[in-house]
A and B are shown apart, each in its own frame.
Chain A
Amino acid sequence: MSRFFFDGEPIEAQPGDTVASALYRAGRRIFTRSFKYHRPRGLLCLSGHCPNCMMNVDGVPNVRACVTPAREGMRVRHQNAWPSLEQDWLSAAQHFDSLMPVGWYYKTLTHPSAWHVAEPWIRKVAGLGDPPPPDAPPREYEHAFLQAEVAVVGGGPSGIAAAFEAASGGAQVILIDDQPEPGGHLRYTRPGEAPASIAQLRGQPNVELLARAYCFGLYEGGLLGVLQADPHPGAHERLVHLRAKRVVVATGAYEVPLLFENNDLPGILLSGGARRLLFLHRIVPGRRCVIVGIGARAEDLASDLRGAGIEIVSLISPDEVLGAVGSTRVEGLRFRGGSVTCDLIVVCGPLLPDAGLLSQAGARLAWSAAHGAFLPADLPPHVTAVGRVTGSGLEPAVPLPPGEVRAGKRHFVCLCSDVTSQDLVDGISEGFEHIETLKRYTTATMGPCQGRMCQLPAIGICARETGRTMGETGTTTARPPSPSVTLGALAGPRHHPVRRTPMHYQHEALGAVWLDMGAWKRPRYYRTAESSEERRCVQGEYQAVRERAGMIDVSTLGKLEVRGRDAGRLLDKVYTNRFSDLRPGRVRYCVICDDAGIMLDDGTISSIADDHYFLTTTTGNLEFVEQWLEWWLAGTGWDVHITNLTGGLAAVNLAGPQARDVLAGLTGLDVSAKAFPYMACRQALVADIPAILLRIGFVGETGWEIHVPAESGEDLWKALLEAGKAFGIRAFGVEAQRLLRLEKQHVIVGVDTDALTSPYEADMAWVVKLEKNDFIGKAALSRAAGDPREQLVGFVMQEDGVPDDGSAVVMDGRPAGRVTSSRFSPREGRAIGLAWVPAGLAGEGAEIRVRVQGRPLLARVTRRPFYDPEGARLRM
């Protein structure tokens, strides 16, 4: 015995109870209110197919209560009714049904303003559950990847037999069943007669049973999408990507309602629903029952219900039925030539093959009058179907051909979105004669049941109204996922990979404020004892670099080693400048273009030896550059080996007028300008750590980029901080770095350039060596070398205001270019930046207007770096 809460009221549940069965036992008969008219709806199929029992369970909307096991402490709430399911004021909607014929919103809400007024009301009245609020406690979902030789979908008698047969032949088998126990329909049609093969199956070591799991998609390559509920206490749902060589579909058949007036009243059950209540939950669903059905199925049902003590008042053929009587629950049934009173109507509805998966996988669905159903045909080679899904053992539930079309405003075809047979007839008369257009116009088959309940009657009405056969009318298209899948399960685990540099915790101790760059965490700036305000902190860091010394963690840079006899040859081919003549101990700035001449990345290449180069790439492009180099290498037969060292190396950029003094205290290497000039590289010990030192200067000061093994990164960082203390060194973040480089007009590829930028337009003609034999991009660049249409230029604001990155450059009131980066420069005392302008405005000193907060402010173009234009400080 357990207890859960429905709308705050405690409900007792017995072992084996679902939320729906426990509520039914406690006397609840209305489980939902319908989508449009707010009609009361009760349990119907009890198999998770129809929309009649969707509730909010523990904050998750649209949970089918009939297949959700009741658990201690669950909080269940009703949906789409106000104030309660019994007293729903919104049910007044059904009195206005004449105002809301099929497609009424297409016809009446034609003006945009009308829709905007109506939309919030429609959303309130019509609809399903509410999404969980943003502050709801998150749920855990997980993904699993499984493989099997044979996957069997469906744990009924046919699925069990197929799994057993495959397993006996030695195959690795996974059996997927949506019920808590295997057995399929035998569990409620022949209770207590579970086939012996279930026990045998459990004894097979090469069979894995996924219980309470359903297959929602059968994709190419034998991939099955499977959703498993409650795989273990730590996870709410698990999405299984199951790859199988062979797939056996044994999904069986499901039952759908019949069409008569008020066929949606609570108290009308499908025969399978009545049997499930009786045999799975030991609940007697009524006293006086009318059975609607024909043949042996109806007779069997009658004897089962009698056995439970239910009085069978009458057994009526479906084509005799006119309508059910009652307002909020069944009180009787009208039929040709009379009526009876009753409190329960059990309908032997058509049993249809559950062939959606087969249809998704490419099978054709062909109408069979002998079975009264569309049967799968032409299965793909790796898929087989067994059991009732093939139509075996199925026969029409209504006398065929059917009588006249029952068009009525209370004959519900689609329970999900309240589409009546009258709506379908009206839609057809308005010209929507094709089953696919009729579906889209009326929304029949488009609700949560995904057409399971309504497709056959909709096709039947369409066929008769248009004078076609069922086969000619055809079915709508089956698409995955079906049944539906929660977004949480698709999204998977709430796990966001984060990359931290080896010095991460040093930054944290220094008060870093973080910036996300891809998966990396980088310090944006550091809070100090004096201030945590970004502008002041950045200014302090900036001054340290310009006046004393600064250090920044650049471990996130891509780092590649390229070795081999033909290494220089590959770099010559891929990069726009020349590398085969780069002497060991020298560094060169480098740019990669594609064959359209577009700049893809930049970085540095250092020659360690004639057949050994050390490359850096931008933080975000490492993977691309590595694959690009490998691609141009593929199939050449050249002797080149590329190794990605990014995770293995930490790096610090030490820069500033006193950087040399800081470094000299930590290494025996001669770091004088003569012995270690600008654009040189050396290998040496720094703070007793083996390091590669590159003398380069992104920020425009004398500086070294020091690469060391990742495990020594923290030691290097601490040693530099300690050695720099006497010189007033400061760690600086990405924000200060961006300002410092902007004063030098150093571009950041991907920030200042875009997917159309050539080096000429970026004002970097010097990186292209057109006299080189051949390189990627040469043909395009030789043609682009002439006069670019646009140019990336520096600018200084002549009025107060700092443009946002991306602000428009305007000419005669019209956008003519855009700002890519802009910052307030403490040195200039105003904002500076880089911007794209038309070639005509790119001359030195040209006046442009930049839109800052809506106002076009004057700025002046300058193509000379703002700071140290000759680069003297870099070479000091």
Chain B
Amino acid sequence: MSFLLRCPHCGDRSVYEFRFGGEVKPRPAPGASEEEWVNYAYNRTNSAGVQTEWCYHRSGCRQWIKAVRNTRTNEVLETFYPEENAR
């Protein structure tokens, strides 16, 4: 792993400056079923392909961003700030 990630604030940076925050998953509503909660807390999609994931720019602006990355090739298609009112 040595690809570059474009931070919306800092520009192209080595992926080692970021903390990986896992795939983006919608959090179930408070009254959701046990199955939904278990799935959210313990299961990962582990996509072989394009996934949206959280990244924290630890050695830079110290902000959470989202990245759309192909997990097979490490090609980063897009990076952006989390959408307003997304959670």
Contacts and interface: CB of A to CB of B under 8 A. Distances in A.
B2 to A, nearest CB: 4
A781 to B, nearest CB: 11
B37 A595 contact: yes
A635 interface: yes
A630 B63 contact: yes
20 contacts: A219-B2, A220-B3, A220-B74, A221-B14, A221-B74, A243-B14, A595-B27, A595-B41, A627-B56, A627-B58, A627-B64, A630-B63, A631-B56, A631-B64, A632-B87, A634-B64, A635-B82, A635-B86, A636-B85, A783-B34
Interface residues of A, number: 22
Contacts of A243: 4, 14
Interface string A85-122: 00000000000000000000000000000000000000
Interface in A133-163: none
Contacts of A779: 28, 30, 32, 34, 37
A778 interface: yes
A828 B74 CA distance: 60
A268 B41 CA distance: 67
Interface string A474-509: 000000000000000000000000000000000000
A223 interface: yes
Contact of A773 (B30, B58, B63, B84): B30
Contact of B41 (A219, A631, A636, A780): A780
A393 interface: no
Interface in B22-44: 27-28, 30, 32, 34, 37, 40-42
A820 to B, nearest CB: 25
Interface in A768-791: 773-774, 778-780, 783
A779 B4 CA distance: 38
B19 interface: yes
Interface size grouping (class) on chain B? 20 to 34
A-B interface, 4 closest residue pairs, ranked by CB to CB distance from nearest? A635-B82, A635-B86, A221-B3, A634-B64
Contacts of B10: none
A630 B30 contact: no
Nearest to A633: B64
Contacts of A778: 30
Interface of B: 1-4, 14-15, 19, 21, 27-28, 30, 32, 34, 37, 40-42, 54, 56, 58, 62-64, 74, 81-87
A596 interface: yes
Nearest to A623: B58
A637 interface: yes
Nearest to A774: B30
B87 to A, nearest CB: 5
Contact of A780 (B1, B37, B58, B87): B37
B28 to A, nearest CB: 7
A595 B1 CA distance: 29
Given A635-B84, A637-B85, 11 more contacts: A220-B2, A595-B40, A631-B21, A634-B63, A634-B82, A635-B86, A637-B84, A774-B30, A778-B30, A779-B30, A779-B32
Interface string A607-639: 000000000000000000001001110111100
Nearest to A627: B56
Contacts of B64: 627, 630-631, 634
B69 to A, nearest CB: 12
Contacts of B86: 635-636
A378 to B, nearest CB: 15
B63 to A, nearest CB: 7
Interface string A685-701: 00000000000000000
Contacts of A595: 27, 37, 40-41
A433 B74 CA distance: 34
Nearest to A773: B30
Given A630-B63, A778-B30, A780-B41, A635 B85 contact: yes
Contacts of B84: 635, 637
Contacts of B54: 631
A635 B83 contact: yes
A508 to B, nearest CB: 32
Contact of A630 (B40, B62, B83): B62
A627 B19 CA distance: 10
Nearest to A626: B62
Nearest to A776: B27
Contacts of B85: 635-637
Contacts of B42: 596
Contacts of A627: 19, 56, 58, 64
Contact of B4 (A221, A630, A637): A221
Contacts of B27: 595
B20 to A, nearest CB: 12
A220 B76 CA distance: 12
A866 B40 CA distance: 41
A780 B37 CA distance: 8
A223 B2 contact: yes
Interface in A211-226: 219-221, 223
Contact of B56 (A630, A637, A780, A783): A630
Nearest to B27: A595
Name the residue among A221, A243, A778, A779 with the largest chain B CB count within 10 angstroms.
Answer: A779
A663 B3 CA distance: 56
Contacts of A631: 21, 54, 56, 64
Contacts of A774: 30
B39 to A, nearest CB: 11
B34 A635 contact: no
A297 B34 CA distance: 77
A75 B33 CA distance: 73
A29 B82 CA distance: 68
Name the residue among B27, B37, B62 with the largest chain A CB count within 10 angstroms.
Answer: B37
B8 to A, nearest CB: 12
Interface string A358-373: 0000000000000000
A636 B30 contact: no
Contact of A220 (B1, B32, B63): B1
A774 B29 CA distance: 9
Contacts of B3: 220-221
Contacts of A636: 85-87
Nearest to A217: B2
B2 A221 contact: yes
A637 B32 CA distance: 24
Interface in A176-222: 219-221
A221 B3 CA distance: 4
A596 B34 CA distance: 11
Contacts of A594: 41
A824 B28 CA distance: 47
Contacts of B87: 632, 634-636
Contacts of A637: 84-85
A635 B54 CA distance: 12
Nearest to B3: A221
A783 B64 CA distance: 31
A220 B73 CA distance: 9
A219 B54 CA distance: 23
A243 B14 CA distance: 9
Contacts of B82: 634-635
